[in-house]
Structure 1
């Protein structure tokens, strides 16, 4: 892990809201560079729902085809914020595969 990523994650885990925001802001412009680390941190995080949502948002912000599987996996997540960030990430990715996943998701949910 890089120093930037470690520092951002340290801040995002603090209880102080401004520190958390600062950590997120530190990573946001570099999400693509840290995609593997973001996915690893997302999968490892079990307790902090807000942090998980931020990590999935950053994964989507990376706009990388490598993010497709984790975004698709969370389209129907019981936590609405994760499902919303998965949709947002797929829309930002805007590849044929991402659009197909969104189409299928919407079609499946239209019948429920």
Structure 2
């Protein structure tokens, strides 16, 4: 299942900038692993903002929750602003043609 995930860095007053870069380096390495495994379809840093957007291909919401709250190196410094399940548009179009009837 695909999810749109929007996160914001929340580190001010909690860790130094040098500590942030250390954690962010671990996060970047984790991102490469999840992209290579197919769990993360894509991830983008929003220019000029402390915000990251990702498309995640998780088997279910439970696995996404485990990753977000337990596996991410930045988990203590991320605020999950938006998490939206995404539906394939072509499947939606087929339901529209059928008027959501079986």
Question: TM class by shorter-chain length?
Answer: under 0.3
What's the TM-score once normalised by structure 2's chain length?
0.28
Q: Which has the higher helix share?
A: 1
Larger radius of gyration: 2
Q: Which has the higher strand share?
A: 2
